[in-house]
Structure 1
Amino acid sequence: MSLITRLLCPVLLAASLPVVAAEPEPLEVFVSLAPQQTFVEAIGGDRVEVHALVAPGESPHLFEPRPRQIAALAEADLFVRIGAPFEEGWLARLRAANPELPILDARQDIALRQLATDQDVHHDHDHGHDHHDGEIDSHIWTSPPLVRVMAGHLRDALGALDPAHAEQFAANHDRFVAELDALDTELHASLDGLTHRRFMVYHPAWGYFAATYGLEQVAIERAGKEPGARALAALIEQARHENVRLILVQPQLDPRAAERVAEAIGGRVEVVDPLSPEYFATLRRLATLLVAGEDR
Structure 2
Amino acid sequence: MRLRTVLLIACPLVVVAALFSISLGGSAGERMGVVVSILPQKYFVQRIASDRVQVSVLVPPGANPAVYEPTPAQMKALSQAAVYFTVGVPFERAWLPRIRSAFPELRIVATDREIHKRSLPRHVHEEEGQTVHSHPEDHGGFPDPHVWLAPHLAGLQARAVFKALADLDPEHAGFYEANYKRFALDLVDLDLELQRRFRDVGQANRFVVFHPSWGYFADAYGLKQLAIELEGKEARAPELKKLMDEARSLGVKALFVQPQFSSRSAGVVAQAVGAELVTLDPLAEDWAENLRAASRRIREALR
Check the 8 A contact 1:75/1:98 in 2, yes or no: no
Find out whether 1:38 has 2:43 as its counterpart. Answer: yes
Whole-Å Cα distance in 2 between the matches of residues 43 and 258 of structure 1? 38
1:94 equivalent in structure 2? 99
Structure 1 runs, 4 residues or longer, greater than 3 Å off: none
Unpaired runs of 5+ residues, structure 2, are: 1-26, 122-134
Match of 2:88 among 71, 83, 93: 83
Find out whether 1:119 has 2:126 as its counterpart. Answer: no
Helix, strand or coil at the partner of 1:134 = coil
Helix, strand or coil at the partner of 1:203 = coil
Check the 8 A contact 2:207/2:301 in 1, yes or no: no
Cα RMSD (Å) of the superposition? 1.7
2:160 equivalent in structure 1? 153
Which amino acid letter does the alignment assign opposite residue 58 of structure 1? Answer: A
Q: Relative to structure 2, which stretch is displaced further, 143-152 or 261-270?
A: 261-270
Unpaired runs of 5+ residues, structure 1, are: 1-21, 121-131
Check the 8 A contact 2:56/2:77 in 1, yes or no: no
Match of 1:144 among 138, 146, 151: 151
Check the 8 A contact 1:141/1:147 in 2, yes or no: yes
Helix, strand or coil at the partner of 1:113 = coil
Find out whether 1:231 has 2:236 as its counterpart. Answer: no
Match of 1:288 among 257, 281, 296: 296
Check the 8 A contact 1:54/1:60 in 2, yes or no: yes
Name the TM-score, length of structure 2 as normaliser: 0.82
2:175 equivalent in structure 1? 168
Q: CA deviation at 1:23?
A: 6.2
Which amino acid letter does the alignment assign opposite residue 65 of structure 2? Answer: P
1:250-269 aligned at under 5 Å gives the runs 250-269=258-277
Helix, strand or coil at the partner of 2:118 = strand
2:254 equivalent in structure 1? 246
Per-residue CA shift, 1:203-232, capped at 9, x if unaligned? 000111111111111100112222233332
Whole-Å Cα distance in 2 between the matches of residues 95 and 23 of structure 1? 25
Name the TM-score, length of structure 1 as normaliser: 0.84
Q: CA deviation at 1:274?
A: 0.1
Q: CA deviation at 1:134?
A: 2.6
Helix, strand or coil at the partner of 1:136 = coil
Identity of aligned residues (%): 41
Which amino acid letter does the alignment assign opposite residue 104 of structure 1? Answer: V
